[in-house]
Structure 1
């Protein structure tokens, strides 16, 4: 498709929580006829397949929160270099707008955009403004949010916020509205355990032991798919060997849409992408927020889902095999409860978030397509 409508720059950190919504917006903008450039750090080379048709510009960046004093000095220097690179690139590109998705690699391009008076939009994936987005919030023209209420210490920023939802890839979005299949007391139950892009050791330690504490009849009904870190996978396999469950383990699953479609209950962290994908698919979950997440944003994300009756929250410090086993027994022996949670999850989804975010971008570029999709509510 010829690019005739304008040029949008996306600035993103390198983790999945930042890069996945950027990818979804890039796809939507490309379909509308925009040229798209992604600006990120040296990890950009990994994303060429994720951003077909887009240009990728790598810039210097670093996190001042890592590495003690020497690390802070090095990171600040890198960010300074990245700012100069960003000013140069933006002057060459002359984009219609810059959209920042958080993470320190997004700081140089978004700050440069504000200095060059280029329309700047920020997208916040979590229920609380992240550190970089907080730094840029006053300079931004608009802040798109993934949650209906996003926590901030500055009330005047609420006026800049516009609720769009958190974009997910199309294959996940298309799961919305697919029925949640209740399971009878004798039927197999598909349990999906994920730990974010790198897995989570505590899930590897706790979940297999919790399953071993269940009655053998209930164990035998479980079909478990679990993501593990490479260094944990042998240990996890040995722990599950003492159970009657059918288990599939891997460090990464490329068929996540299929796994979510077949899932009866998920166990995992409560990062932004995980929450958005669970909502789009309409699947109930036991959420274990990563307790060291910046500003404890994963707990705030999880509470939004719990308040809707869509999930069960277990704090990481409380996440023991005994407690998890008890929660699993209660949920798996009450399929109607799982179905109610699934419906609540589905009804919390903001479908068409990528289109809504693109509409918001166009409001500041003067081009209006208005292709956003209204939220669909799922009924039993």
Structure 2
């Protein structure tokens, strides 16, 4: 956002409550909050409720576009980007997608037919629809300048001090909570004094902490 803002463009952000919290120190950016979700992996009642929430977010997205008169929509994946991206087609607005992962996300995969271009952090070699490969443009990761200009990482072979940070999914990936702890234990058994900081979903937190404590892994 700051990149485009500094170049003189009017930039609007459509996000959820969590994303909007990060804008507190960027008061010059205008934002809109959508409440949305996914009907997948839910029971029938929650599926129906999710569909109503999505329908409402589509109506709100239409109101935002009608009021703000946007010229271009950029979707960064995630459920919150779906309503504004799909509604953009009813306003004949060009849609550009960005995918930061090596596996195409569900939202971006669904939106591919409607996108002018899809920007990739790195070329996706598997399970990318062949008929949409002409839309690909590899641009690399989108990072803050403070991260880009950070000094190069120096390899540390000191087994007495080894720290690992695990991030996965917008709120932590469930599969990481199942697989990663045993892998960390294997690394510890190789003689590394590990400190682990792991993002996880709420209902896994207790069992993951217990596992690390039981195996004397600092966390």
**TM-score (normalizing by structure 2):** 0.79
More relative contact order, 1 or 2 (CA 8 Å, 6+ apart): 1
Q: Distance in 1 between matches of 2:135 and 2:86?
A: 17
After superposition, the C-alpha distances for 1:102-156 in whole angstroms (9 at most, x for unaligned) are 1222111011111101121111122233222222212111111121245455323
Give the match's secondary structure for 1:61.
coil
Q: Distance in 2 between matches of 1:102 and 1:48?
A: 19
Q: Distance in 2 between matches of 1:36 and 1:166?
A: 20
Deviation at 1:52, TM superposition (A): 4.9
Give the match's secondary structure for 2:118.
strand
Query: Which of 29, 34, 39 lines up with 1:59 in the alignment?
Result: 34
Counterparts in 2 of 1:187-266, with a 5 A limit?
188-196=160-168, 197-198=171-172, 200-202=176-178, 205-207=181-183, 209-211=185-187, 213-214=189-190, 218-219=191-192, 222=193, 224-228=194-198, 230-231=205-206, 232-233=208-209, 235-240=211-216, 247=218, 249=219
After superposition, the C-alpha distances for 1:233-265 in whole angstroms (9 at most, x for unaligned) are 355234217xxxxx4x3xxxxxxxxxxxxxxxx
Query: Which of 79, 98, 104 lines up with 1:129 in the alignment?
Result: 104
**TM-score (normalizing by structure 1):** 0.48
Number of corresponding residues:
209
- The reply to whether residue 68 of structure 1 matches residue 43 of structure 2 is yes
- Please, which runs of 5 or more residues in structure 1 have no aligned partner? 1-25, 242-246, 250-380
| 8 A Cα contact 1:61 1:104, kept in partner | yes
Aligned-residue Cα RMSD (Å) equals: 2.9
